[in-house]
Structures are given as C-alpha cells and as structure tokens.
Amino acid sequence: MGGAGADASRAKWDEIYRKMSDGSSEPACILAENAHLLPTSGTALDLACGLGGNALFLAQRGFKTVAWDISEVAVGRLRALAECLGLAIEAEVRDVESTEFPREFFDVVVVSRFLARNLVGPIANSLKRGGLLFYQTYVRDKVSPAGPSNPAYLLAENELLSLFRGLRVVVYREEGRLGDLSLGHRDEAFLVGEKT
C-alpha cells in the first residue's frame, strides 16, 4: 500500500481499535476450533493481528509469536495485554501489504478477516515445510451485513481454495446458502492448509 494510502488506512483502523473493548481479543474460529492440529511448538505469525486474539492464543500455547498490524493503537493494546498476561509476543506496527516476509520461517500463520490477494505468495512462502496456514475471511455470498461490502475484500465461491492451491487442504468450510441459513458459519470461508 505505502504512502498516503497506508496513512489513511492506519488512521481508519486506529479509530476502529480505539472504540473496541478489551474483550474483542478472541482467537479466530478457524484457529480455536482446530487447535488440535497445531504442532507442539514453533514460531507463529498473526498477520493483520488487530487486538491480537490469535497471537495471545498461540503465545499461551508456547509458540514464539509475532504479530503484525498497520494500527499503532491495536499493536499498543496488544503489547500492553501481553505484558499484563506475562506473554512474550513480538508485536510490530507494519503495513503488511508492503512488508517483506521471511522465507520458510513460520510453523504457523494465522490470517483472520483480512484479504490482500497480492500476499498469497508471500504468505505461502513464509511457511516452513510442514507449516500450517489457518485462514478465515468473508465471502461475497454472505447472509448478513457483517464484514466489508466492497467485493474487492470478499472471497468469490471457493476462491480461498484456489488462492492457496499449493497447500494441502486439511480443513475447508464454506457453506454458502445451502439449507437452514440461521445455522452454521455462513459469512466466511475457512481453511487450514499444510505446506508440503
């Protein structure tokens, strides 16, 4: 992103995170519901971490945890909470769309409710062999107004599978509009993929 676009994005997200309560630091469903798939240790990245629910979850399980977000407010709040809980989280303010990812470095990468298609390659390349990607974000065919309305930030049908086709699919969930729309996880696609 860079430049004026990054500054505008930072200001927008800083304002959003100023208004959020501390109880907003929950891990993503894809991570919480599939935590049994995590390795016993390693290095993890919470990408576009927000208030760091995924980072906190991983650090509590002994992972050396890195968290990146464009919002200084979010990163500051995450650092304060991690310190209060006695967790070592390397939280950094970064414009993730213009940052350089280390290659074959992370055992786990978690991305929740963030979509930048240009980062698919760098995310996949940052995983070690056997590393796991936990990814969930909004789909275009959602049944509620949750999440963004701009289709550029929404997944097309089965797009998440297509974007990360180089990974072995371990878990995938995308329910669309089948059956009883009042039940299930309707607005997002969920993926756990392994780098082989």
- In this predicted structure, the answer to whether residue 3 has a pLDDT above a threshold of 70 is no
- Position 120 scores a pLDDT of 97
- Position 2 scores a pLDDT of 56
The topology (CATH level 3) of 3-194 is Rossmann fold (3.40.50)
How sure is the predictor about 22, in pLDDT bands with cuts at 50, 70 and 90?
A: low
- Position 8 scores a pLDDT of 80
How far is the C-alpha of 141 from the C-alpha of 133, rounded, in Å?
23
